Amino acid sequence: MKIFCAICLEEYDQHSNISVGKCGHPFHTSCLESCFGDAIFINCPQCRSFMVKTQIVRLYFNVKEDVKVQEPKVVQTIDNSSIVDENLKRQLLNFCQETLKLSSECQTLLDEQTLNLEILKKRFEKVLNE
Ligand SMILES: [Zn+2]
Ligand SMILES: [Zn+2]
| Residue 59 phi, psi (nearest 5) | -100, 140
Residues found in the chain:
130
pLDDT tens string 59-115: 988 877 766 666 667 777 777 777 778 888 888 888 888 888 888 888 888 888 888
Q: Where are the domains of the chain?
A: 1-61, 73-129
- Nearest listed ligand to the Cα of residue 47: 2
Distance 29 CA to ligand 1 centre (A): 7
Give the C-alpha separation, 25 to 33, whole Å: 14
Please write the tens of the pLDDT for every residue from 6-46.
Answer: 999 999 988 899 999 999 999 999 999 999 999 999 999 99
Say whether domain 1-61 belongs to CATH 1.10.150.120.
Answer: no
What residues have CB less than 8 Å from 120, skipping those under 6 apart?
none
